[in-house]
Amino acid sequence: MSFLGTGFAADIGPIIQGKKLTLRPFSQGDYPAWSKLRDKSRDHLVPWEPSWSKNELSMASFRRRVRHYKREAREDVGYAFAIVESTNNELLGGVTLSNLRRGVSQSASLGYWTGLPHVRKGVMTRAVSLIVPWVFNELGLHRLEAASMPSNSASIKVLERNGFVQEGFARRLLKINGVWEDHLLYGLLAGDVKLSETKTQ
C-alpha cells in the first residue's frame, strides 16, 4: 500500500493506493459513473441512508457535493473518497471521514456505501482496511468511530473484520430514510491494530 499526496494540493487531495482498490477524491468528472451507480443501487442504499432529496442524482447536486468535500478537506474536518478498481478506475462505492476533531479528541467518524453490483465481494472490507492506516499514520488520529443499525449485518461485519470493537448502543441516533433509528456504536484506536509499513510518494 502507498499513500500518495501527503501534504496534498487542495484541488487534488490524498490518494490511497492498494493492490486491487484505490481510494481517491471525487471529482466533477465522476458524475456520470456516480449517478448511474447510485441510481442502480437506489433500493439497496435507501434503507441505510438519510432520505434522498428529489434532485439527489442531479448534476447540480453532485457539483455541490464535490465542492463540499473539497472544502472539508481544505479545512481538515472531513475527507471523502471514491472507491475505484485500481486497474480500470471503475467506481465501486464511497467512504467518508466526517466530524474530524483535533485537540484533545483526535478522532473522526467513518461512513461508507457500496454500489449494488459490487456487494458481497469484499470491496468495503478492503476499502476500510486501506483507510485505517491512513487515518492513524497520515492524519495522526487517535480514534476512529462508526455506527451501524443493528439490522445492517453486512456493515457490522465490515467493521468487525477490521478490528472495530462494539462500545455501546445509541437510541434513535440518526434519521435514516425519514426515521430516527437506533445504532450500535463501534470504535477503533490507533493502538488496536498493527499498522503496516507504508510508502509515501
Q: What CATH number should be reported for the domain holding residue 68?
A: 3.40.630.30
pLDDT tens profile 79-129: 999 999 999 999 999 999 999 999 999 999 999 999 999 999 999 999 999
Tally of domains in the chain: 1
State the pTM of this model. Answer: 0.90
Residue 8: is its pLDDT beyond 80?
A: no
Instruction: Look at residue 37 in the predicted model and tell me its pLDDT.
Output: 98
Q: Where are the beta strands (DSSP E) in the chain?
A: 2-4, 15-17, 21-25, 79-85, 91-101, 107-114, 143-148, 165-176, 179-189, 199-200
pLDDT score of 12: 58
- Asked whether the predicted pLDDT for residue 4 surpasses 70, the reply is no
CB 79 within 8 A of CB 73: yes
35 pLDDT tier (thresholds 50, 70, 90): very high
Domain hosting 95: range is: 2-200
The confidence score (pLDDT) of residue 193 equals: 79
Consecutive H or E run containing 84:
strand 79-85
